[in-house]
Amino acid sequence: MDIQELRDMSDEQLALTLKETIENLFRLRLQAQTERLDAPSELQRNRRLVARIKTLQREREMARASELQSEAKEES
């Protein structure tokens, strides 16, 4: 999944995608331990996707906090 696709998602969509990716990553790890993986690169791809999503969520959280601080300063 491309970073631009992730940026276009809403917060709810991002949270759902994160949940699905973490579940998929769990299944892949389990499969890696119990049998051979068809595509071992899927583990790395899913880990990176989780990191991208969490980074975007943090960026949005920081932007909201910044907006709240600027609004508070304007009211003072």
Please give the residue range of the domain that contains residue 65.
12-75
Supply the pLDDT for residue 65: 94
Band of pLDDT at residue 46, cut at 50, 70 and 90: very high
Q: For the chain, what is the radius of gyration of the CA atoms?
A: 17
The reply to whether 20 falls in a domain is: yes
Interval 43-68 mean pLDDT = 96
**63 within a domain of the structure (yes/no):** yes
- DSSP string of 6-73, one letter each residue: HHHS-HHHHHHHHHHHHHHHHHHHHHHHHS--S-THHHHHHHHHHHHHHHHHHHHHHHHHHHHHHHHH
Residue 16 lies in a domain: yes
Give residue 43's pLDDT band: very low, low, confident or very high (50, 70, 90): very high
For 8-21, write each residue's pLDDT tens digit. Answer: 999 999 999 999 99
| Domain total in the chain | 1
Residue type, 6: L
